[in-house]
Amino acid sequence: MSDYQPRALILRTAGTNCDRETEFAFRLAGAQTSLLHVNVLREEPGIIAEHHILAIPGGFSYGDDLGAGTVLANELMTKLRAPLDQFIEAGKLVIGICNGFQALVKTGLLPGLERWRQQATLTFNDSHKFEDRWTYLSAPPNRSPLFADGERIYLPVAHAEGKFVVEDQSVLDRIRASKQVVCRYCDPDGQPAGYPWNPNGSMDDIAGLCDPTGRILGMMPHPERHSLPVHDPRWPREGLKDEGDGLRIFRRAVEFARRELAAC
């Protein structure tokens, strides 16, 4: 069983630009990968069922012309809803990074309190500019198998619409109560902090969250951009780590799929 390689499907479309990095991180973590354009999946939706993990990587899908992730979210809801429902009901993993997170939020799959109904969004940064910087994350007790309670991670962000907001306070209360917040922006000491450590002004410093099952995850920072030790801009003065901070997220996804989904 330890040699079993779970299958990860990396979905791309016009404007996606982090698909190769995401595929590299999954392969480094021990997964078999398929890099697939959404048009192919629309023509052959059964392909998704052949995989254990669905990853929607970062970029600017369809130019973000109607808002970040909006067109892709509509495409997923109108053209791929049935196979996605089957994939989710089978207990498989869905991971959205940056633009992928934006798309999952706009489908309503995140926070997923009412599947396919949008209850939150990711909107323009408080700085009113594109934020391209490194920041720290802390993980509170949470439902995701991909984040360990209390851990801290150093990852880059690169987005203009990363501010997480909810439609009303009750949604935020439910997300907190059900331990769906998987990571928050923090300062180097792990403490809550404003700009630039929270690069966008997200409510409750939320950088990532999962659905109530823990198996659908979205995050704005880019773990695939810190999968190798040399990705860390501090390594020349602090030395190389054994692996990049972001790789642990991909390793945990592969390990979870190997442990829980091998029969699927």
Residue numbers annotated as active site: 98, 222, 224
Residues in the chain: 264
Angle at which helices 81-89 and 70-79 pack, to 10 degrees?
Answer: 80
Judged by DSSP in three states, 203 sits in: helix
Q: CA-based angle 36:38:43, to the nearest 5?
A: 100
21 near 98, Cβ under 8 Å?
no
All residues at 6 or more sequence positions from 239 whose CB lies less than 8 Å from its CB, including other chains: none
Instruction: Using alpha carbons only, give the angle 180, 186, 190 rounded to the nearest 5 degrees.
Output: 100
